[in-house]
């Protein structure tokens, strides 16, 4: 039982990491990026290509692909998203769906690596840790550990650095932040690159568990419920939502008949939406006329 919960938690941490990207972008721009899953897929392919063809060791490849994806995120915001700044949210959603299609297509068209399924040779592959009767694989431990680390880093950044405080200000009220001399547009680019970096990290962490393939981006669709459950405006909520979804999924996979595992995330999400329309930790808002 505890064993199952633990593997659910580690699965949930992956969802949470991707969901963090959704939440960051939503807080900054009030739109939802449907390309998070694809960015994750691109991230793990980049890591794979770097280790395979450049022969980089794992840690260097990880850092390099994080930087590369952060750059990609920054570029996407500048070239594609910024021209529609100020238009309705649907426009951005469509753009991100379009980006997702292009990313999937480009990876599938890449001659050598595109169509195959790969394993990422991580140094901790296949090892397990025994702890008082529990068997935990290092894959899962690393996932949980790095999620905790990322949360800590984000917390420190948002509370103690100038950039973090500027980000919080601009997500509370963009216009006022702009008047105070905060470069809101640059911050939006920064948020996109952070979201892409997080997606890339999630992709590398997920790679030993599910392998690297073109359609792994669809796991982003499971992270979406995680963000919704958490409230879409709260960073801790994203992780909490991810863990709830992950645990619900593994438990229903174990105790309920076949087929419930696939839909557990969505059932949980709809149930939460019916009871708390703004999620568990979301801000309660009412539109003024």
Partner 1 sequence: MRFLFKTSYLQDIRLIQHSGQVLWIGLLVVGLLISPALLPEFWLAQLNLILVYAMVGLGMMILLGYTGQLSLGHAAFFGLGAFVQAYFVNRGWPFFGALSLVIVANISLGALIALPALRIKGIFLGIATLALGLIVEEVFVKWESFTNGTSGLNVKPAELFGLVFNSQQRFFYLAFGLVLVCTWMTLNLLRSPTGRALIAIRDSEISAQSMGIQAGKTKITAFMISAAFTGIGGALYAHYLRHISPENFTLLLSLDFALMVIIGGLASIHGVFFGALFIVLMPPLIAIGKDFLPAGMANTAGLQNVVYGLILIMVVLFEPRGLYGRWLKIRTYFQIFPFYRRGMFRRQKAFQKSERLH
Residues forming contacts to partner 1 in the complex (CB under 8 A) are 30-32, 80, 83-84, 86-91, 93-95, 97-109, 111, 114-115, 172-173, 176, 221, 224-225, 228, 232, 258-259, 262-263, 265-267, 269-270, 273-274, 277, 283, 285-289
104 vs 140, beta carbon nearer partner 1? 104
User: What's the min distance (Å) between Cβ of 255 and partner 1?
Assistant: 17
User: What's the min distance (Å) between Cβ of 260 and partner 1?
Assistant: 9
55 vs 285, beta carbon nearer partner 1? 285
User: What's the min distance (Å) between Cβ of 237 and partner 1?
Assistant: 14
208 vs 279, beta carbon nearer partner 1? 279
55 vs 111, beta carbon nearer partner 1? 111
User: What's the min distance (Å) between Cβ of 128 and partner 1?
Assistant: 32
56 vs 82, beta carbon nearer partner 1? 82
Quote the CA–CA distance of 122 and 56 in Å, as a whole number.
12
192 vs 232, beta carbon nearer partner 1? 232
Q: How is the chain classified by DSSP, letter by letter?
A: -HHHHHHHHHHHHHHHHHHHHHHHHHHHHS---TTHHHHHHHHHHHHHHHHHHS---HHHHHHHHHHHHHHHHHHHIIIIIGGGTTS-HHHHHHHHHHHHHHHHHHHHHSTTTTTS-B----TTTT-EEEETTEEEEHHHHHHHHHHHHHHHHHHHHHHHSHHHHHHHHHHH-HHHHHHTT--HHHHHHHHHHHHHHHHHHHHHHHHHHH-B-GGGGGGHHHHHHHHHHHTSS-HHHHHHHHHHHHHHHHHHHHHSPTTHHHHHHHHHHHHHHHH-TT-SSPPP-----
111 vs 181, beta carbon nearer partner 1? 111
Quote the CA–CA distance of 215 and 101 in Å, as a whole number.
11
User: What's the min distance (Å) between Cβ of 115 and partner 1?
Assistant: 7
User: What's the min distance (Å) between Cβ of 230 and partner 1?
Assistant: 13
User: What's the min distance (Å) between Cβ of 29 and partner 1?
Assistant: 9
């Amino acid at each position: 039982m505890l064993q199952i919960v633990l593997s659910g938690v580690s699965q949930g941490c992956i969802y949470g990491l991707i969901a963090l990207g959704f939440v960051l972008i939503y807080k900054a721009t009030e739109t939802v990026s449907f390309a998070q899953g694809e960015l994750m897929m691109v991230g793990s392919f980049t890591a794979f290509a770097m280790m395979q063809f450049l022969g980089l060791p794992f840690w260097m490849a990880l850092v390099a692909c994080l930087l590369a994806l952060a750059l990609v995120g920054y570029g996407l915001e500048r070239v594609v998203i910024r021209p529609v700044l100020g238009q309705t949210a649907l426009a951005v959603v469509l753009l991100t769906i379009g980006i997702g299609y292009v990313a999937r297509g480009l990876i599938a068209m890449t001659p050598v690596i595109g169509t195959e399924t790969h394993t990422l040779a991580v140094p901790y592959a296949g090892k397990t840790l025994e702890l008082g009767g529990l068997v935990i694989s290092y894959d899962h431990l690393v996932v949980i550990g790095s999620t905790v680390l990322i949360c800590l880093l984000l917390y420190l950044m948002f509370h103690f650095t100038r950039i973090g405080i500027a980000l919080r200000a601009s997500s509370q009220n963009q216009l006022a932040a702009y008047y105070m001399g905060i470069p809101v547009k640059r911050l939006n680019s920064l948020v996109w690159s952070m979201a892409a970096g997080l997606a890339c990290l999630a992709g590398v962490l997920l790679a030993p568990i599910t392998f690297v393939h073109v359609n792994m981006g669809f796991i982003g669709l499971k992270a979406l419920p995680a963000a919704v459950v958490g409230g879409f405006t709260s960073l801790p909520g994203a992780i909490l939502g991810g863990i709830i979804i992950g645990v619900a999924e593994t438990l229903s996979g174990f105790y309920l008949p076949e087929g419930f595992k696939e839909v557990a995330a969505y059932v949980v999400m709809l149930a939460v939406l019916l009871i708390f329309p703004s999620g568990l930790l979301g801000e309660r808002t009412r539109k003024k006329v």
